Chains A and B, each alone.
Chain A
Amino acid sequence: MANHQGGGGGGAGGLIGHASLPPPIPAGDQTVWADAGPLIVASCSELQDGELIHAENFSLFAAMSALEIMDPKMDSGIENSGYHSIEEAIENNIAPVPLSLDSTLDVQCILDVIDHLFSCEATWHKGHSLAQTVFSCIYLLRIERTSPHSLLHSYCRIMRAICNALVSVVSDARTNEEEDLFAMAYALPLKGEGDEKCLSILNSVEETISRQLRACRAQSSRKKSLEDIEPLQRNPDLEEGYCRALLCRLRFRKHYFHVFMCMRKPHGKGLELARKHVALCLSELSYMSKSLEFLRSLPYGSFQDDIESSTTASGCKPIGFDASLNSTLSAPGPPRATHILSWKKAVGYFQKLLHDLDFVCSFNMEPVLEDVLHYVVQFQKLQPDLVARTHLQILLVQDGKLCGKDSFHDVISRALALPELTADKEFQKNEFIVQLGQLIVSLLKILCTNIAWQRRKLGKILQDWGVLSLQLEMAFKREFGDRLNVMVDENMCMKVSRRLLIWTDEHTYWIASRFLTLGFELELYSPNEYCMVYWYMYVVLMRLMEKMQMRIAINSETCKRKREKKKDHAKDPARDGSLSSSSLLIHCYICLCEGLAMMLAALHNESKAFQMRSPFNGEEERFSQHFDLLQKAHVPDHVSYYLFKESTVHARISGVVKHNYFREAQRITSSLKGSFAGDPNRMLELQQLEQVAEHNRIALNVINQVGADDPSLRVSFEFTHHPHFAMAVVKRS
C-alpha cells in the first residue's frame, strides 16, 4: 500500500500521492488523484525488453510524432531562463525603466536596445520567429511600462507598428507559404491602442533631440544658447555624439515606416514617395554605420564575447531581452536555436532590403503582361527576401486586377492585340477568359515566392495551363465551337480563339522554361544530367519561339491593316520590335542549349564521360524524375526519354563542331546589342551569353583537335558566366 493519503476528498483537491508533492490540478467531481508511481516501478520491472503496455488504438508510427518533454529540441516549454513569466522577470529588474538612473548610461543602454532590436528584426526577416527575435524584448512585450520614458517609448511604439504592418501585409499576400514562421504572431502583443500615433510621438522626440544637438553645438562654438535646453545626458563631451547616434536611428525608423505606408497605397500611388524615403533610409543607415566608431570608444557597459559578431554597434550587451520568456508562444513550432545576426550584418541586410524595395518601387504601373513577367524574373535575380517579394506581389495583383487597374480580360485582350474586345461583355464572361485570368493571377503570385517553392508550384500549375490549352484547341477544332460563337461575327470568333490558343501555348512553354532554368539556380541537376536538361530546354524553347513568332506574324498583320486604315504609325511597331528581339534572344538560348546538349552527348558517346553509373537509379529514371511534371502536362507533347536517346545517340564531336551552334549564338548576341541598348540588365545578359558561347566554341575545338577519346582529356562544366548556361573547362592531365 503506497498511495492515497487524503487531500480534501471528492471534487476540488482530490487525493494525492504520498511521496510526491500534491498535484495542484484538481481531479474530477467524483474522483481523486492516486499515486501510480510505485505500481509503475513494480510493473515495469516485470516487463520484457522492448515490451509495451498500450491501448488498442496505439500506433507506433503516430507515437513517433509525440513531443518529447524536456528535450531541448522539441519542448518549447522547457525551463531555462530562471524566470517563469515576464512579470517575474520585470520584478527582478531585468528591464528597468529608466534603464539607468545615470542619464549618460541610460542613453547608452537605450542605444544598445535600439541596435539589438534592429539586429533582431533582420533575423526575423531572415526566417526566425517573431517571438524569439524582436519580441524577446521585454520593453516591447509590456510597452505601457515604457510610457514615462519618451525616447524608449516612441521607439518601441514604432517598432511594434512596423512589425504589425509587415505581419499583416505578408499574411494578406500569403507569399510566405514556406517561410511560415514570419507571420506567426500568436499571443504577441502586436497591436495596441494609440499605435497609429506612433509617428507623431517619434517626431516630437526627434525634435527634442535635434534641439539638444543644436544647443550643444552652439555651446561648443561658445555662442550663448538662445534657448535653455536641458542636455540629453550629463557628459558635455559626449553630448554631440550621442545626439547624432540617436537621431540617425530614429530617423531611419521614421522613413522606414513611411516606405511601407507609401508602398501599400492603392494603384502604386505612393511609389514615387516611397523611393524618396528609401533613399533617406539608406543615408540614415550610413550615418548609423558611422556612429559605430563613437559608440565603440565609450567606456561603458559589458562587452559581448565576440565584438565582431556583436548585435549592437557599441559591442555591449543590451539589457531587457530574454528570448526564453515567451518560447512557449512559438508553439506549435519546435523551439529553434536562434542566432541573432550581428549588427553589421543587419545593416547589410537592411541595405539589401532597401535596394530591393527600390527596385519594386521602380515598377512601371502601365504594364503589359510580357513586361511584368520579365520584370519579376529580373527582380528574382536579386535574390530578394520575403518582405520585398511580398510588396511586389501586392503591387502586381490588387483587388483581382493587374496593378489594381486593369482587369485580366483587359490584359488578355491587349495581349491578343485585340483591344476592341475590352468592352465586349461576352468576351469578359467567356469561360476560357475567366479561367485564363485566374491562371495569370496565380502565376504572378507564384513568381513572387522563393525560388524553391516557386519551382514546385510552377511545375504544378503547368498542368492547369496544359489542360486549358487543350480545351482551347478542342474548341478551336470544333470550328469556333459553341463557346465563342456568341461573338459579333464568325470571323472575329475564329480570330480570337486562334490567338487565344497561341498565346496560352506560348505562356505554357514560358512557364516550362522557367521551371527548367530554376533547376540550375537551385542546383538540382548533376553534371551527368546536364545533357538531358539542355536537351529538354532546347525542345521547350523551340516551341516557345515558334508560338512567339506566330504571335508576331499575327500582330504585324493586324498592324498593317490598321495602318492602312488609319495611316497611323503609333506604338505597335515598337512593341513588335521588342517582341521580335525577345524571340531572337530565345533563339540564342536555343543555340546554346542545343550546342551544350550535343556536346555533352558527344562526350558521353565518345569518351564515356558524363555517364550515369548510379547503383540506385538509371538514366531513364532520372529523366522521369526531373521532367515528370512537364510530361504529365504534355509540355511539349510526344516528348519521351526514347526521343531524347534517339536524338543524342549519334552525336559526335566532329558533328557538333560542324554545326557551329555556339558561333550562331555569338552572331545573335551581337545582332541583339542594338535593340537592347537601353536595358542594362539585358545588355549584361548578352555579354554573359557571348562569353559562354565563345568559351564553349573554343573548348569544343580543343576537344576536337585532341580527340575526345584521349584519356588525358578532362572536361568539366562551370557556371562562371551565366547562371543557366554552363561553360566547358578543358584540362589535360
Chain B
Amino acid sequence: MQDVHSDSLVSGNSGGDGSPLVARLRKLLFRRMLVGVSDGRFFLGVFHCIDKQGNIILQDAVEYRSVRQSSSSPMEQRCLGLILIPARCRSSCHVECSIDEQMSLLSLNK
C-alpha cells in the first residue's frame, strides 16, 4: 500500500521539500504533539502527518477532557489511537522538545 502513494502523494522530491520551513516541520515528525480543539479538549499523540490545509494525523492519541466547565477542573482521559484533527477545529498546537532545541527548531526567522 505504501508504495502506491509514495510516488504521487509523498512530498519526497516535489516542490515544498526545498523550503527550509517544510524541512523544519518535517523534523517534528515522531515527536509528541499536543493539539487543543475548539470544544476545549486536548489530544496528545505522536505527530504522524500533516497536509497543506493543516489537517493533522496523530498516532496513539489520548483524549483529555475536563470534567467540569471551570478552567481548573480535573481532566479525564481515554485512548483513541489514530486520529485526524481537521485544521478548522484546531485551536492550539504544541510539540514536545528539549529546552535547548526549541529555539532552533521553531523559530521562523531563518
A residues with CB within 8 A of B: 1-4, 9-10, 14-17, 19-21, 23-25, 27-28, 30-44, 46-55, 58-63, 65-71, 77-79, 84-85, 87-88, 328, 331
Q: Which of A36, A59, A70 contacts B1 (CB 8 A)?
A: A59
Q: How far apart are the CA atoms of A34 and B25 in the complex, in Å?
A: 13
Q: Which residues of B contact A25 (CB under 8 A)?
A: 34, 42, 44, 64, 75
Interface pair A52/B94, CB less than 8 Å apart: no
Q: How far apart are the CA atoms of A53 and B27 in the complex, in Å?
A: 10
Q: Which of B16, B33, B80, B83 contacts A51 (CB 8 A)?
A: B16
Interface pair B69/A51, CB less than 8 Å apart: no
Q: Distance in Å from the Cβ of A329 to the closest Cβ of chain B?
A: 9
Q: Which of A3, A9, A39, A54 contacts B24 (CB 8 A)?
A: A39
8 Å CB interface, B48-107 against A: 48-54, 57, 63-69, 73, 75-76, 78, 80-86, 89, 91-99, 102-103, 105-107
Q: How far apart are the CA atoms of A23 and B26 in the complex, in Å?
A: 23
| A9 (CB) vs chain B CBs: closest residue | B99
Residue with the greatest number of chain A CB neighbours at <10 A, chosen from B30, B43, B69, B93: B93
Total residues of chain B contacting the partner, CB 8 A: 74
Q: How far apart are the CA atoms of A38 and B106 in the complex, in Å?
A: 8
Q: How far apart are the CA atoms of A87 and B73 in the complex, in Å?
A: 12
Q: How far apart are the CA atoms of A731 and B2 in the complex, in Å?
A: 58
Given contacts A15-B102, A43-B19, A51-B16, contact A35 B94 (CB under 8 A): yes
Q: How far apart are the CA atoms of A328 and B65 in the complex, in Å?
A: 11
13 pairs across A/B with beta carbons < 8 Å? A4-B106, A14-B96, A33-B95, A43-B19, A47-B51, A51-B16, A53-B22, A53-B25, A54-B11, A54-B49, A63-B82, A88-B68, A331-B78
Interface pair B54/A40, CB less than 8 Å apart: yes
Q: Which residues of B contact A32 (CB under 8 A)?
A: 96-99, 102
Q: Which of A33, A49, A328 contacts B94 (CB 8 A)?
A: A33
Q: How far apart are the CA atoms of A24 and B24 in the complex, in Å?
A: 26
Interface pair B86/A70, CB less than 8 Å apart: yes
Q: Which residues of A contact B14 (CB under 8 A)?
A: 48, 51
Interface pair B89/A59, CB less than 8 Å apart: no
Given contacts A58-B2, A69-B89, contact A79 B39 (CB under 8 A): yes
Q: Distance in Å from the Cβ of B30 to the closest Cβ of chain A?
A: 6
4 additional A-B residue pairs with CB within 8 Å, beyond A1-B108, A2-B107 = A4-B102, A40-B54, A53-B50, A58-B48
Q: Which of B30, B98, B102, B108 contacts A42 (CB 8 A)?
A: B108
Given contacts A47-B16, A53-B26, contact A69 B43 (CB under 8 A): yes
Q: Distance in Å from the Cβ of B51 to the closest Cβ of chain A?
A: 5
Q: How far apart are the CA atoms of A532 and B63 in the complex, in Å?
A: 54
Interface pair B67/A85, CB less than 8 Å apart: yes
Interface pair B109/A1, CB less than 8 Å apart: yes
